[in-house]
A and B are shown apart, each in its own frame.
Chain A
Amino acid sequence: MLRGKQSWEFSNHPVIRSTGVAVGPFEANGNLTADFDVIHDDLWMGNTSYEQAHRMLLEEAAQTALKKSNLKPEDTQFFIAGDLINQITPTSFAARDLQIPYFGLFGACSTSMEGLALASFMVNYGGANNVLTGASSHNAAVEKQFRYPTEYGGQKPPTAQWTVTGAGVGLITNNPLNDEKLPYTTSATIGKVIDMGLADPFNMGGAMAPAAADTILAHFNDLQKDPSYYDLIVTGDLGKIGRETALALLKEKGLSLDSNKFKDCGLLLYKENQPVQSGGSGAGCSATVLYGHLLNEMKNGMYKRILLVATGALLSPLTVQQNETIPCIAHAVSIEI
């Protein structure tokens, strides 16, 4: 049901029945290792190219999610996913192997929540019984496309972020199977593209913060809720700088959040001493942290209600070179248990 200007409420409570998360070596050394299903100790993962490894991550995550629910690809109506590589080939190639009817999404790093919102919408209104949704990214494949060759000795400024190698997939269904308490989605707010004129591709957090703030404000306006309703508000990959900027922006707009209840996936994922500069980023960042870590925490009773706001910077290497500013977007999905 449409609520307010840009939000949906899912009254039938689509359930996230199972999840699958596959990550690379760098993430395995981070904070959340215990929450991941498949861990690779090599960036190549036995493939001949990083792009193939990228595809493999998503496939493994999808297969794990299906296996945990005892489902076959045929039982799943739709597969909604995306990544950052040109023409989202890793995702489409994975969809070729999965043989599930497929929607390819591109929302940069916000793809995970875009997919979850759409999947919940479909399931809520009977458009599907089971939908597989997720997002993935691979550090070396993304660096190769957006930045410099991985072996190039360029210095990254402290505002830069580290692209996550990982894929997170969730199975959204209208059939919770047994009596076990499972997390379900209750609402989603679709963001609009916001461009505040920043153009530095090594400071994405700062560019994306206004989009996150805009979507969070819209969410509370549309659903007539208060920030205290949520135990935790998590942003996708704002990093240190973006998180602080977003907090300050929200405060300026009259919405003060408890900074202990406002976290960022890019900061949760890595240890303090890992050289990720401002934090993690990439489509896989919010996907691995939500489908791996946060849902586990919810099942363990740490949180009852969370709002996940995944942010995306809709740039390409071409637009950066043409001196265009960075348009950004954010989508929010609320999950309760």
Chain B
Amino acid sequence: MADSKKKNKTPKQQQYAKFEQQFETKRPVLKNCIKAFFVGGLICMIGQFISYLYIYFFHFTEQTSGNPTSATVIFISMLLTGFGIYDRLGQFAGAGSAVPVSGFGNSIISAAIEHRTEGFVLGVGGNIFKLAGSVILFGVFSAFVVALIKTIFLMMTGGL
């Protein structure tokens, strides 16, 4: 992607890109990473806690508690998104709040809320996967390819 862009640039443009870069405010990578680490870690720890609640009080094993846990995390993410907290958390934590499933929920829920002014069918329905759609698409397709290769491999080696 970056290479193809460079090819189209005139020498003057490349020179300007370098020139401009010295004035750019650098992204505070280390600070961002520390914030992402703590917020992301905390969200996972809360997730762990929720999954123990499901193990302790309901009929879920460690294996099966993952599903209700992510559903609960997404539910919390809906509330935080609706009350306008998640976007601020996102600005603070970056990937720390985007990478956990709560971020996946946030991308779906924020798109749904945003487009309700265009009606429920065309607005909410048409835009709800605006951001999460690519994650679902590539997740499903790559999983299909991986599972297909693995199944064929297992069949050939007689594992199945």
A–B contact (CB under 8 angstroms): yes
Residues of A within 8 A of B (CB): 48-51, 144, 148-159, 195-199, 203, 206, 209-210, 240-241, 244-245, 248-249, 275, 277-278, 323, 325
B90: Cβ under 8 A from any A Cβ: yes
Interface hub of B25, B82, B111 (most chain A Cβ within 10 A)? B25
Find chain A residues with CB under 8 A from B12 CB.
196
Complex interface residues of chain B between 1 and 57 (CB less than 8 A to chain A): 1, 4-5, 8-10, 12-14, 16-17, 19-20, 23-28, 32
Taking the closest CB of chain B, its distance from the CB of A263, in whole angstroms, is 17
| Option from A48, A152, A198 in Cβ contact (under 8 Å) with B107 | A152
Inter-chain contact B98/A154, CB cutoff 8 Å: yes
Inter-chain contact B106/A151, CB cutoff 8 Å: yes
Assuming the A-B contacts A241-B23, A323-B4, are A275 and B16 also in contact, with contact meaning beta carbons closer than 8 angstroms in the complex? no
Find chain A residues with CB under 8 A from B73 CB.
none
B69-102, CB under 8 A of A: which get 1 and which 0?
0000000000001101011111101110110000
| Option from B23, B86, B91, B110 in Cβ contact (under 8 Å) with A206 | B23
Inter-chain contact A155/B94, CB cutoff 8 Å: yes
Inter-chain contact B24/A151, CB cutoff 8 Å: no
Interface hub of A196, A203, A325 (most chain B Cβ within 10 A)? A196
Q: Give 6 A-B contacts (CB < 8 Å), ordered by A residue.
A: A149-B110, A151-B114, A154-B90, A159-B25, A196-B12, A206-B24
Inter-chain contact A203/B103, CB cutoff 8 Å: no
Taking the closest CB of chain A, its distance from the CB of B119, in whole angstroms, is 11
Inter-chain contact A153/B103, CB cutoff 8 Å: yes
Inter-chain contact A197/B103, CB cutoff 8 Å: no
Q: How many residues of B contact A (CB 8 A)?
A: 46
Inter-chain contact A323/B23, CB cutoff 8 Å: no
A323 to B7, CA, bound (A): 12
Find chain A residues with CB under 8 A from B113 CB.
149, 151
A210 to B87, CA, bound (A): 33
Taking the closest CB of chain A, its distance from the CB of B26, in whole angstroms, is 8
A43 to B17, CA, bound (A): 36
Find chain A residues with CB under 8 A from B114 CB.
144, 149-152
| Option from B17, B90, B94 in Cβ contact (under 8 Å) with A152 | B90
Inter-chain contact A153/B97, CB cutoff 8 Å: yes
A199 to B8, CA, bound (A): 12
A49 to B20, CA, bound (A): 38
Inter-chain contact B25/A153, CB cutoff 8 Å: no
Using CB atoms, name the residue of chain B closest to A157: B27
Taking the closest CB of chain A, its distance from the CB of B60, in whole angstroms, is 28
A278 to B26, CA, bound (A): 11
Find chain B residues with CB under 8 A from A148 CB.
110, 131
Using CB atoms, name the residue of chain A closest to B4: A323
Find chain A residues with CB under 8 A from B111 CB.
149, 152
Inter-chain contact A150/B25, CB cutoff 8 Å: no
| Option from B1, B13, B87 in Cβ contact (under 8 Å) with A151 | B87
Inter-chain contact B117/A50, CB cutoff 8 Å: yes
Find chain A residues with CB under 8 A from B131 CB.
148-149, 152
Find chain B residues with CB under 8 A from A199 CB.
5
A50 to B116, CA, bound (A): 11
Assuming the A-B contacts A48-B117, A196-B16, are A150 and B23 also in contact, with contact meaning beta carbons closer than 8 angstroms in the complex? no
Inter-chain contact A203/B87, CB cutoff 8 Å: no
| Option from A157, A244, A325 in Cβ contact (under 8 Å) with B23 | A244
A139 to B65, CA, bound (A): 41
A154 to B91, CA, bound (A): 6
Taking the closest CB of chain A, its distance from the CB of B102, in whole angstroms, is 9
Interface hub of B16, B84, B103, B113 (most chain A Cβ within 10 A)? B16
Assuming the A-B contacts A148-B110, A196-B16, A323-B1, are A155 and B25 also in contact, with contact meaning beta carbons closer than 8 angstroms in the complex? no
Interface hub of A151, A159, A197 (most chain B Cβ within 10 A)? A151
Taking the closest CB of chain A, its distance from the CB of B126, in whole angstroms, is 13
A323 to B1, CA, bound (A): 8
Taking the closest CB of chain A, its distance from the CB of B51, in whole angstroms, is 23
Taking the closest CB of chain B, its distance from the CB of A259, in whole angstroms, is 13
Inter-chain contact B98/A197, CB cutoff 8 Å: no
Using CB atoms, name the residue of chain B closest to A323: B5
